[in-house]
C-alpha cells in the first residue's frame, strides 16, 4: 500500500466545536496507531479531503509522524477553492498552518463552492488515487458524512479491487482515552 485516504467524521458530527476539545488528542492517537504499522509496511502518501474534523486531525497526526518516517508525504485535496472562507478565524489559522506543512495541497475545482458535483468529483478522485482507506466511522454513532466514502470503498471492493477499508470506531477512541486516564493515575 502506497497511498492511503484518511477521512471520517466532521468535527460538528462529533459535537466538537473548537480545537481545545479533550477528545481530539485521543482521535489523533487512534489515527497514529493505525498509521504506524502502515508506515512500517511502506506507506508513502496520506491523502486527505481536508474537512474540518478527522480529515485534518489525521493530517496533523501524519505530520507528527514525519519526524520518524521522513518518507511519508501528506496531501490535502479539497473539493473547491476557498474551502475555509466561512470558517471561524481560529479554524482558518489552524487550516492555514497545516497547509504550510503538507507536501501538496490543491482543489479539484478552482471555483468556490458551486454544488455537490465538486464533492463528488473530489471523492471519486481520492478513492481512485488511493490504495486503501482509513475511515473514522462507527455504525452506532450514525452514518454522517463518512458514509459516502464508505459506500465508495465498498463499491470499489465489489468490482474486485483489493481496496482495504480500515476503520477507527468510537470504541477505539474511547479505549485510548481510558488507557491514557488510567496511566495518568498510576
47-85: pLDDT as tens digits: 999 999 999 999 999 999 999 999 999 999 999 999 999
In a domain, 174, yes or no: yes
Mean pLDDT of 149-158: 95
In a domain, 70, yes or no: yes
CATH number for the domain including 12?
3.40.50.450
Domain hosting residue 86, numbered range:
3-136+149-160+170-185
pLDDT of residue 162 exceeding 90, the answer is yes
**Total domain count for the chain?**
1
In a domain, 165, yes or no: no
CA 110 to centroid of chain Cα atoms: 22
> Greater confidence, 185 or 31?
31
Q: What is the pLDDT of residue 69?
A: 98
Amino acid at each position: 500500500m502506497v497511498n492511503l485516504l484518511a477521512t471520517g467524521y466532521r468535527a460538528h458530527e462529533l459535537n466538537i466545536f473548537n480545537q481545545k476539545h479533550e477528545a481530539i488528542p485521543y482521535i489523533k492517537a487512534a489515527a497514529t496507531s493505525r498509521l504506524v504499522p502502515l508506515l512500517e509496511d511502506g506507506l508513502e502518501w496520506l491523502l486527505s479531503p481536508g474537512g474540518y474534523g478527522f480529515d485534518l486531525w489525521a493530517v496533523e497526526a501524519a505530520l507528527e509522524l514525519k519526524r520518524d518516517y521522513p518518507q511519508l508525504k501528506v496531501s490535502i485535496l479539497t473539493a473547491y477553492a476557498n474551502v475555509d472562507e466561512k470558517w471561524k478565524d481560529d479554524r482558518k489559522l489552524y487550516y492555514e498552518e497545516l497547509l504550510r506543512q503538507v507536501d501538496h495541497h490543491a482543489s479539484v475545482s478552482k471555483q468556490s463552492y458551486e454544488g455537490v458535483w465538486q464533492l463528488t468529483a473530489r471523492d471519486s478522485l481520492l478513492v481512485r488515487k488511493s490504495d486503501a482507506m482509513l475511515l473514522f466511522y462507527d455504525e452506532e454513532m450514525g452514518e454522517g458524512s463518512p458514509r459516502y466514502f464508505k459506500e465508495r470503498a465498498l463499491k470499489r471492493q465489489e468490482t474486485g479491487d483489493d481496496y482495504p477499508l480500515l476503520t477507527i470506531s468510537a470504541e477505539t477512541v474511547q479505549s485510548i482515552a481510558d488507557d491514557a486516564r488510567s496511566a495518568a493515575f498510576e
